[in-house]
């Protein structure tokens, strides 16, 4: 029996022992050989599992196919390398070109389709392969497999690199190298043990159906230990040196040829099954493209919830300031806990004079650790001010004091490194993260003289809903009102104000295009939520189980 399975099991046990040893070393304050932070999140672990599967599959194929080309077809090593060239070139060019799809497809989509292509190619190979590898249909499937492999190799490494801080770049490289080496060794060993084992089983089973042939061969050859992959010519030459009859020699060659092919087919099917299973870790890869912050924040909300469940008392989220008001509100909607979530950033770069980043980070940590911050929802802390997520807005492009809460002002301030709250806010209902990122809702600002032609095109563009930023307290030009009504019949329309702050009216003005008229036409007022925040809430509601029917209820707490 091949020692490969035992070596694989021993390797798994040693890997687990290494992880335990590394954790203990880290807890003792000593530098680990590998920082386990590089696999701390589900998406990072999924990338490692998927990378292992990719490299193991490539190792198995790069063992199996050259074995058959060189031994079965009797090709030279150079001819074998040339025969494998289309596959290897496909992997190379796909790995370089796949990055052009990163702004169009999420890693999860690329990962799934990569393994789907590998699975289809392996299944098709198992169906069509014969003893001639230069057949066009076989080469086509090798190229398809190469496309899947090439797309996955680059993608999975990029996921690991982008998910880890820069200071862990060395650990990421080490993890990648270790994973590649281990997976290639396991894939090759597993493939070799599987194919030889299958070949032995098939040949012995076939000989069992020909007892006279088995007895004659057994007297000449040790069948229990000498069954391996050989070409027909080599087998024929070896048997002709024995006393085996010509008839039995021909039958032995036929059995050998049939056994090799059956072993290969089943080996390819096993590889296809492993590729199919690898779709599951690929489904845990990030489901957002570069710049798709909402999807990323869904994962952040889940991680925060996991942290709170494991005993953390607060969470600090650091990001760029461009979208802080949206990010904070989204987390306010998604994190169902009375423990504080604090979002912060910096208006000045770290190398700029007067950079306030460190002070903001310290302030955010102080607020997150304070028991007074519990039950207030997500907070935004910058420039020593504490804002509630639902009220805060960015009001300036450059000043450190850019963040304001125009409707109510900051609910607190940091004084002498202590949060001083002078207002309390009631937590509003939260939504589940299970439905995924918000639906892609349109945001349209109404201007003086606007004829509303953009509104009619929104359903055709695929938008499932729209937030309309009306003038003043929620008004549109009279000639636009019928268009708004027609649109509200097709998709949900939420009415916000383009003014910096204040509520959308509901019962003051009734002329055509005013709030009473628009509400009668089917729009839902956003209350005091800005258009940016109303868009996020509407997007989450449309993703929920109740969908559009729950929109008025979802916006009611903000009136």
Structural class in CATH, domain 37-194+268-283:
mainly alpha
Measured distance CA(348)–CA(108) in Å, rounded: 34
**In whole angstroms, what is the distance from residue 87 CA to residue 145 CA?**
8
Ranges of each domain in the chain: 1-33, 37-194+268-283, 204-260, 297-421, 441-558
Spatial separation of the C-alpha atoms in residues 122 and 69, rounded to whole Å: 17
Contact 75, 83 (CB under 8 A): yes
Closest CA to 383 of 340, 432, 334, 321: 321
Between CA 478 and CA 464 the distance in angstroms is 25
Closest CA to 365 of 343, 392, 398, 388: 343
What tokens does 237 get? Answer: 């030459």
Asked if 134 contacts 83 with a C-beta cutoff of 8 angstroms, the reply is yes
CA pseudo-torsion sign 138, 139, 140, 141:
positive
Distance CA 132, CA 83 (A): 11
pLDDT in tens, the chain (559 residues): 556 567 667 777 877 787 787 778 777 777 777 666 666 667 777 888 888 898 899 888 888 888 777 766 667 778 778 878 888 899 889 888 888 887 778 788 888 899 999 999 899 888 887 766 666 777 888 889 889 888 888 887 777 666 555 556 676 777 777 788 888 888 888 877 777 776 666 665 655 555 544 444 444 444 444 445 555 555 556 555 565 566 666 666 666 667 677 777 888 899 999 999 999 888 878 766 655 555 578 888 988 998 998 889 999 999 989 999 999 999 999 999 999 999 999 999 887 888 899 999 999 999 999 999 999 999 999 999 999 999 999 999 999 999 999 999 999 999 999 999 999 888 888 888 777 778 889 999 999 999 998 998 998 888 999 999 999 999 999 999 999 999 999 999 999 999 999 999 999 999 999 999 999 999 999 999 999 999 999 999 998 878 888 999 999 999 8
Polymer length of the chain: 559
- Give the count of alpha carbons within 13 A of 170, CB side only: 5
- Distance (Å) of CA 296 to CA 336, 437, 532: 18, 8, 17
Phi then psi for residue 353, to 5 deg, are -60, 135
CA distances from 53 to 149, 282, 310, 420 (A): 10, 10, 31, 53
Q: Which among 98, 95, 88, 142 is positioned nearest to 120, based on CA atoms?
A: 142
Kindly write down the DSSP assignment for every residue of 289-349, as one continuous string.
-TT-HHHHHHHHHHHHHHHHHTT---EEEE--GGGHHHHHHHHHHH--SSS-EEEE--SS-
Cα 535 from chain centroid (whole Å): 24
Please give the structure tokens belonging to residue 298: 């869904």
Q: Fold match between 37-194+268-283 and 441-558?
A: no
On whether the CB atoms of residues 242 and 222 are closer than 8 A, the answer is: no
What pLDDT is stored for residue 223 in this prediction? 42
Torsions phi, psi for 445 (to 5 deg): -100, 130
**What is the pLDDT, as a whole number, of residue 22?**
74
Looking at domain 297-421, its CATH architecture is 3-Layer(aba) Sandwich (3.40)
Structure tokens at 177: 């190298």
Neighbours of 296 (CB within 10 A): 18
Nearest Cα residue to 94 out of 70, 60, 133, 58? 58
Scan for tokens 């909607």, then name that residue.
333
For 279, the 3-state DSSP assignment is: helix
Q: For the whole prediction, is pTM greater than 0.75?
A: no
Strand order in the sheet with 385-388: 315-318, 341-344, 378-382, 385-388, 412-415, 418-421
Question: Residue 432 has what pLDDT?
Answer: 82
The CATH class given to the 441-558 domain equals alpha beta
| Residue 384: both structure tokens together | 């020593």
* Residue 21: how many other CB atoms lie within 10 Å: 12
């Amino acid at each position: 029996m091949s020692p490969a399975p035992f070596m694989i099991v021993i390797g798994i046990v040693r890997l687990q022992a290494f992880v335990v040893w590394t954790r203990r070393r880290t807890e003792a304050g000593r530098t680990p050989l590998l920082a386990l932070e590089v696999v701390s999140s589900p998406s990072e672990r999924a990338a490692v599992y998927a990378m292992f599967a990719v490299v193991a599959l490539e190792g198995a194929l790069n063992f199996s196919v050259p074995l058959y080309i060189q031994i079965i077809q009797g090709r030279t090593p150079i001819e074998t390398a040339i025969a494998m060239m289309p596959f290897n070139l496909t992997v190379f060019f796909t790995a370089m070109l796949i990055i052009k799809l990163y702004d169009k497809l999420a890693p999860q989509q690329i990962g799934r389709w990569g393994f789907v292509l590998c699975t289809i190619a392996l299944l098709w190979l198992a169906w069509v392969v014969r003893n001639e590898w230069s057949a066009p249909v076989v080469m086509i499937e090798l190229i398809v497999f190469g496309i899947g492999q090439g797309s996955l190799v680059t993608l999975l490494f990029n996921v690991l690199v982008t998910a880890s801080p820069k200071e862990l770049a060395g650990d990421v490289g080490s993890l990648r190298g270790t994973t590649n080496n281990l997976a290639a060794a396991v894939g090759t060993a597993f493939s070799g043990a599987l194919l030889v084992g299958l070949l032995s089983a098939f040949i012995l089973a076939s000989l069992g159906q020909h007892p006279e042939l088995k007895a004659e061969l057994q007297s000449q050859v040790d069948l229990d230990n000498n069954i391996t992959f050989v070409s027909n010519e080599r087998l024929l030459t070896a048997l002709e040196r024995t006393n085996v009859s010509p008839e039995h020699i021909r039958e032995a060659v036929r059995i050998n040829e049939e056994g090799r092919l059956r072993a290969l087919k089943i080996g390819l099917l096993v590889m296809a099954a492993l590729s199919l299973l690898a779709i599951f870790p690929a489904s845990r890869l990030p489901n957002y493209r570069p710049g798709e912050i909402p999807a990323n924040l869904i994962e952040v909300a889940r991680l925060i919830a996991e942290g709170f469940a494991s005993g953390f008392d607060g969470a600090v989220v650091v990001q760029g300031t461009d979208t802080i008001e949206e990010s904070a509100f989204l987390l306010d909607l998604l994190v169902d806990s009375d423990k504080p979530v604090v979002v912060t950033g910096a208006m000045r770069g770290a190398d700029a004079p007067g950079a306030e980043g460190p002070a903001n980070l310290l302030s955010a940590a102080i607020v997150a650790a304070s028991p007074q911050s519990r039950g207030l929802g997500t907070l935004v802390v910058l420039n020593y001010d504490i804002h509630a997520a639902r009220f805060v807005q960015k009001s300036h492009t450059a000043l450190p004091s850019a963040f304001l809460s125009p409707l109510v002002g900051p609910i607190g301030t940091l004084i002498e490194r202590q949060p001083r709250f002078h207002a309390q806010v009631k937590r509003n209902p939260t939504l589940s993260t299970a439905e995924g990122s918000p639906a892609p809702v349109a945001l349209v600002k109404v201007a003086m003289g606007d004829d509303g032609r953009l509104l009619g095109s929104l359903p055709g563009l695929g938008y499932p809903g729209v937030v309309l930023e009306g003038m003043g307290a929620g008004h549109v030009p009279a000639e636009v009102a019928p268009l708004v009504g027609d649109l509200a019949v097709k998709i949900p329309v939420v009415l916000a104000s383009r003014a910096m702050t204040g509520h959308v009216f509901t019962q003051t003005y009734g002329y055509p295009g005013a709030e009473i008229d628009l509400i009668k036409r089917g729009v839902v007022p956003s209350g005091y939520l800005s258009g940016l925040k109303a868009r996020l809430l509407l997007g989450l509601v449309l993703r929920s189980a109740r969908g559009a029917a729950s929109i008025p209820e979802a916006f009611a707490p903000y009136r």
